[in-house]
Structure 1
Amino acid sequence: MTRTIDFYFDFISPFSYLAQLKLPEIARAAGCEVDYWPIDIPEAKIAAGNYGPSNREVLPKIKVMKADLERWADRYGVPLNFPASFDCAHWNCAVLYARKHGRAEQFVTDAYRRIWGQGIDPRDRGELAACATAAGLDADALLAFVDSPIGQNEYRKARSQAIQRGVFGAPMMFVDDQIFWGNDRIDFLSDYLTK
């Protein structure tokens, strides 16, 4: 049986963008599969008892965080551009449609390229449709799923299951009985998988 890495992320998370750049390659090298699970970071934080403000609201913290993000992007040799908004709920929900059609990795990779690589506005439905098409999905069907009660219910259920599992932020990677939180733990994950 193939080992699975459960990857919990939210498209508002730039550190999840960075982790996604490395995770598929690490998984393949270890003979693992990545299972993509979208969450809502603010909801997960509150469920875990973290009522503090978002990083974007703490000016000294955001200054240091931006510098760290730029360092990581430079190390990985990728672009990093803050998106025009942080309204990513439809994109998160769309992952569940991509999962059903076996295209989650392709969708998530291209979505992150658009949102954090190019800095697009996630509220732009044309970008969401283009991402679906680029991932080999039916764009109209994906948009209909995202807007449907079924899609919204599936997204609520996925978020609830993540919270019950103890997910409190993103990115979080679960494999076996181990939990790795943050892009800066990706090397620990790789080491664990190769032992």
Structure 2
Amino acid sequence: MPGKMLDFYIDFTSPFTYLCNLKLPDLVAKYGCRLNYHPIDIPTAKLAAGNYGPSNRQVPAKIRALMQDLNRWADHYGVPFKFPKGLNAWRMNIGTFYAIEKDKARQYVDEAYRLVWAEGVDPDDEGVLRGLAKTAGLDSDEFMAFVSSRAGEKAYEASRVAAHARGVYGVPIMMLDDQIWWGNDRLMFVEEYLKAHAA
């Protein structure tokens, strides 16, 4: 299986993808796989899949349980967890394509999730975005131009449309061969599959 790509659907507004990303990159590398990052937008993915229900934040009973669950997972992984100051990650998501082009995807995604869900920053803050680019080893000025460009928007739109066509309805979703896994709590099943299908 060396060289195989596992498709990883992400949105920096997702705390469960933050948790998933803490383990997944090293897990797939262990079995000779690489990650293919696909940024999407959760609300539009839900609508495209026919899910017209309210967001989790609009259901008090659900958000209460989810917050407890998120804190349990963070404690379990021994990592910080802090709800961010904002949830507009449009430009941060677009920035992933620039990082992929510059072969800095892992550094970028790891740092973006750390900033948003460990430090609780606003993902749309200009200073945050510039600092993220610098930490990931990217040119900050070029990066900022890209995340507000038509080329960046088109890359993001193409990624969302392709995800919808594959039936992606949320994140974190992982796909390899004909297999689909959803959620950071499915990583043991990802590993079982990789182990069984390793070269």
State the partner residue of 1:72: 73
Q: SS where residue 190 of structure 1 aligns?
A: helix
Q: How far does residue 101 in structure 1 lie from its aligned partner after superposition?
A: 0.8
Q: SS where residue 32 of structure 2 aligns?
A: coil
State the partner residue of 2:85: 84
Preserved CA contact (<8 Å) 2:28 2:34: yes
State the partner residue of 1:103: 104
Q: SS where residue 174 of structure 1 aligns?
A: strand
Q: SS where residue 175 of structure 2 aligns?
A: strand
Distance in 2, matches of 1:101 and 1:153, equals: 18
Preserved CA contact (<8 Å) 2:90 2:124: no
Distance in 1, matches of 2:76 and 2:97, equals: 31
What one-letter code is carried by the residue in structure 2 that aligns with 1:74?
D
Q: How far does residue 191 in structure 1 lie from its aligned partner after superposition?
A: 1.3
Preserved CA contact (<8 Å) 2:7 2:35: yes
State the partner residue of 1:30: 31
The answer on 1:4 being equivalent to 2:5 is: yes
Q: How far does residue 3 in structure 1 lie from its aligned partner after superposition?
A: 1.0
Q: How far does residue 51 in structure 1 lie from its aligned partner after superposition?
A: 0.3
Structure 2 unaligned blocks of 5 or more? none
State the partner residue of 2:15: 14
RMSD: 0.7
State the partner residue of 1:175: 176
Distance in 2, matches of 1:54 and 1:66, equals: 14
Q: TM-score normalised to the size of structure 2? A: 0.96
Greater mean alpha carbon deviation, residues 1-10 or residues 30-39: 1-10
Q: How many pairs were matched up?
A: 195
Distance in 2, matches of 1:101 and 1:123, equals: 21
Distance in 2, matches of 1:166 and 1:176, equals: 14
Instruction: Calculate percent identity across the aligned residue pairs.
Output: 50
Q: Deviations over 1:59-111 (max 9, x none)?
A: 00000000000011011100000000101000000001111111111100000
The answer on 1:147 being equivalent to 2:148 is: yes
Q: Which 4+ residue blocks in structure 1 deviate beyond 6 angstroms?
A: none
Q: TM-score normalised to the size of structure 1? A: 0.98
Distance in 1, matches of 2:73 and 2:42, equals: 21
Q: How far does residue 123 in structure 1 lie from its aligned partner after superposition?
A: 2.1
Distance in 2, matches of 1:82 and 1:26, equals: 26
The answer on 1:48 being equivalent to 2:44 is: no
The answer on 1:114 being equivalent to 2:115 is: yes
State the partner residue of 2:130: 129
Structure 1 unaligned blocks of 5 or more? none
